[in-house]
Structure formats: structure tokens, C-alpha cells
Amino acid sequence: MTAQIIDGKALAEELRQSFKARVETLTAKGHQPGLVVILVGEDPASQVYVKNKVNGCLAIGMHSEKIVYDKDVDQQVVLDKIAELNADPSIHGILVQLPLPRHFDEEKVLEAISAEKDVDGFHAENVGALSQGSPRFIPCTPYGVMKMFEKGNVDLSGQEAVVIGRSNIVGKPMAMLLINAGATVTVCHSKTRDLKFHTRRADIVVAAVGKPKFVTGDMIKPGAVVIDVGINRLPDGKLCGDVDFDDCLAVAGQITPVPGGVGPMTITMLLANTIEAAERKAGIR
């Protein structure tokens, strides 16, 4: 048996094409969607992601700009910029690229972003709305994964789902979305005693651990859907996920690749959230 591959890159492109008309309508009404990405420091991987985000916006007619600060910048400078962007009617989405340098209070920075412009969905108000089952902005990576389930015709209701990783960015919101969709959800993490016991009985496994090729074929139930959220840079410069793709390919029913899986979908859902923010402001939804 060979798993069906869920092509995130193709789905991302399909969705981005469908966004163009919405952007055009908004622009004609004087509400061209605008996203600002704030980057602190010069981490090369972050620079690539930020460039992909800005270019993804521009390619479908949105406005986008990045603001780059030196890694030693005073936190107050960033907070003042966020306040300015909160008040700027031409900007609908604000994203502060994580992680921030150590002298930053990450929570304070994220809470400074207006909840209406928090296209990452990391603001406490938006986290609360999601956990109550009435999301306003869904965090981009888990949102992208949900779209991939849709594309792969994965019916989540009643399914056993295991999320590996409990981060605020991926694991927790992913678990919330799966619960809201009717799955029975187990969240595993570094303290989990017998990980394989859990993953072996799962119909759906979402890996967000940050360890290259961590999930192997023997951990997977035959036919399961395996979603790889990991982005690990190997010493040879190659990108690799948290899933041992070649090993799981023979066991899984459906699987996502890295690159070309969840990553492109993350950026696509960032565009979707920014467009949605502009539509709300324009009174379209």
C-alpha cells in the first residue's frame, strides 16, 4: 500500500487563485487588503518565510510590507509601531514573526496587536473565541491543516486524532479545531509516557514536535492520515519534516510532504485571514 499524498502546494495555489476576485472587489470599494509583517533580527529562515508572506500577498493584488528591526531593538519601539499600525485604516493584518529575541515579552507584544488585526490568531481574545467554538481568526497553520483534511475528503467526526506537540501556535489550536469538528482528540508531547500506544490507535496523526523524522512507520496505524507540520533544516541544508516520510508512505492512507505540504498552506491561510479582516471592515461579512 502506498499512501495518497496531499499536495499542499497545489491546494495553496488553487485557493490563492480563488482569493483574487475577493481582493479585487475589496480594492474597488477602497479596502485593498493590507498586511504588515514585523521581523526582529536577521534569522535567515525567518527572512525566507517573511519574504514568502509578503510576496504571497503581492501576487494576488494585496498590499503588504515588512518592517525589519535590529535584534537589539528596544521592545517599546516595536510596541509603538504596533500602536501606529493598529490605528492605520489601510492595514488589516499585523503579524509579528516569532520567535522574538530573548529580551522581548512575547505575550505582551502579541496582546498589543488589535484583536481585529490579529491575523495569526494568537491574541487571547481570539484564542478564547476559538476555544468557545466561534473562531474569529484561526491560527494559520492549523487552519491550513483543516483545509487539507477538506481537500483529502477526511471526515473528522468520530475519528481518533492524535496531535503531537502542545504549542500555542500549532498543537493547542489544532486540538481545538479537531474537537470542534467532532474528533476524539489526544494531545501528546515530550512528557507523554508511551507515545506509540497513542499514535498506533489514531486515525489521524498531526506531528508538530520540531524533531526531524520523529514519526516512523511503526508508530502509525495502517491507513491513517498523517499530517506533517515540522520544518527542520538538516545540516546539508535540506528541509525535512517531523515525519519520516519514506517510512510512513508505505503505511499511511494519506500523508503530507515537506516541503510542499503544510508550509504553503500556512501562508495561504494568512492571506485568507487578512482578506477576511478587510471584508469585515468593509461590511462584506
Which are the catalytic amino acids? 53, 97, 120
Burial class (CB in 10 A: 0-12, 13-18, 19+), 230: buried
179, 239, 282, 284: which one binds ligand GUE (CB under 6 A): 239
Q: 3-state DSSP helix/strand/coil percent for the chain, to nearest 5? A: 45, 15, 40
CB of 139 to ligand GUE, least distance (A): 8
Record the cell numbers describing residue 100, joined without a space: 522574538
Question: Does residue 231 have a known ligand-binding role?
Answer: yes
Question: Does residue 275 have a known ligand-binding role?
Answer: no
Ranges within 183-212 binding Mg ion (CB under 5 A): 189
DSSP secondary structure letter of residue 261: S
Give me the phi and psi of 68, to 5 degrees please.
Answer: -110, 130
**Minimal CA–CA distance to 178: which of 166, 201, 161, 164?**
161
Question: Does residue 165 have a known ligand-binding role?
Answer: yes
CB of 140 to ligand GUE, least distance (A): 5
Question: Which of 7/203 has CB closer to ligand GUE?
Answer: 7
Q: Does residue 35 belong to the site contacting ligand GUE (CB under 6 A)?
A: no
Question: Which of 39/183 has CB closer to ligand GUE?
Answer: 39
Ranges within 197-216 binding ligand GUE (CB under 6 A): none
159, 266, 268, 273: which one binds ligand GUE (CB under 6 A): 266
**Could you give the CA distance from residue 138 to residue 247 in angstroms, rounded to a whole number?**
31
165, 257, 261, 263: which one binds Mg ion (CB under 5 A): 165
* 258, interface contact from Mg ion, ligand GUE, none, CB < 5-8 Å by kind: ligand GUE
Q: What is the DSSP string of 30-63?
A: T---EEEEEEES--HHHHHHHHHHHHHHHHTT-E
Measure the N-to-C terminal CA separation of the chain; round to a whole number of Å. 45
Question: Which of 7/279 has CB closer to ligand GUE?
Answer: 7
Of the listed pieces 48-56, 146-154, 219-227, 244-252, which binds ligand GUE according to CB under 6 A?
A: 48-56
Question: Which of 171/264 has CB closer to ligand GUE?
Answer: 264
Question: Does residue 67 have a known ligand-binding role?
Answer: no
Edge to edge, the sheet with strand 63-69 lists 63-69, 34-40, 93-96
**Could you give the CA distance from residue 26 to residue 24 in angstroms, rounded to a whole number?**
5
User: Contact residues for ligand GUE (CB under 6 A)?
Assistant: 48-49, 52, 95-98, 120, 140, 231, 239, 258-260, 263-264, 266-267
User: Contact residues for Mg ion (CB under 5 A)?
Assistant: 165, 189
Residues that constitute the known binding site for NADP(+): 165-167, 231
